[in-house]
Amino acid sequence: MPPLKKAARIAGAIYASMVVTGPFSLIYVPSKLIVRGDATATASNILAHETMFRLAILADLVRSGDFHLPRDRSLSVAQQRQ
């Protein structure tokens, strides 16, 4: 498979994963963990559902793209122009 096609498939898979991770971390988790006006209850919910809280953090990282995949320098635009 050509490197550009492989990179496009990886980017598409990451983009498609946002369909699942977005609603999970933005809608489902806050509705289960956050208690408005009661920080103590919120903290105890987070401690009681630590795995869900950690999965929400991971989902936020995937959704925002704050992780680093190995890059192939041959795909960069600057390298192709030279």
Tens digit of pLDDT for each residue in 27-71? 999 999 999 999 999 999 999 999 999 999 988 887 776 555 556
- Confirm whether pTM is higher than 0.75: no
- Residue 59, exposed/middle/buried by CB under 10 A (0-12, 13-18, 19+)? buried
Measure the CA–CA gap between 42 and 51, rounded to whole angstroms: 15
C-alpha count within 13 angstroms, C-beta hemisphere, residue 58: 8
- Split at pLDDT 50, 70, 90, the class of 20 is confident
In a domain, residue 82? The reply is no
Q: What is the pLDDT of residue 32?
A: 94
Q: What is the CA radius of gyration of the chain?
A: 18
Beta strands in 3-76, from DSSP E residues, in sequence order? none
In a domain, residue 35? The reply is yes
State which residues form the domain around 59.
3-66
In a domain, residue 58? The reply is yes
